[in-house]
Amino acid sequence: METDRAGGCGTALATGVIAGATAVLTGFALMTAICYSGWTAFLRFGIGTDITEYSEQIRASDLDPDTAEEVLQRLTELRRKVRNHDVDVSLLRWIDHDEVMEGILEDGRVTELERVALLNELDEMEAWTE
C-alpha cells in the first residue's frame, strides 16, 4: 500500500508540473502575440504619419506639377495599404526609406537627380506592399 500512495503522489506531482508548464507556455505565447500586434500597430501608425508628412512636403516643393501629382497619388495608395495592413517592412528598413525621403524633400527644392531618386524610392516602398 505504501507503494500505491507514493505512486499516486508522483503522478499528481507530474500532472501538476505538466499543467503548470502548459499554463506558463500558453501565457508566454499569448503575451508574445499581444506584443507583436501592438508593435505592428505602432509601426503602421508611424509609417502612415511619415507618408502624410511626405505628401505635405511634396505639395510645398518645387517639383513639377505632373510629377508631384503622380507622387501624391502613389503616396496616397501606399498610405491606404499601410492602414489596411498590406505591408511587409521592418523598422530598420523603414528608417532607411525615411532618411532617403527626408533627404530629398527637406529643403523643398527637388533637383532632377533627386526626382529620379524619389521615384526609385517610391518603387522600393511599393514593393513591400505587393
pLDDT digits (tens, 9 = 90+) for 71-104: 999 999 999 998 888 777 888 999 999 999 999 9
Burial status of residue 46 (CB atoms within 10 A of its CB: 0-12, 13-18, 19 or more): middle
Q: What is the pTM of this model?
A: 0.73
Quick one: CA torsion of 28, 30, 32, 36, rounded to 10 degrees? 180
Q: What is the pLDDT of residues 30-83, one digit of tens each?
A: 777 777 677 778 888 889 999 999 999 999 999 999 999 999 999 999 999 988
Q: For residue 63, what is the DSSP state?
A: -
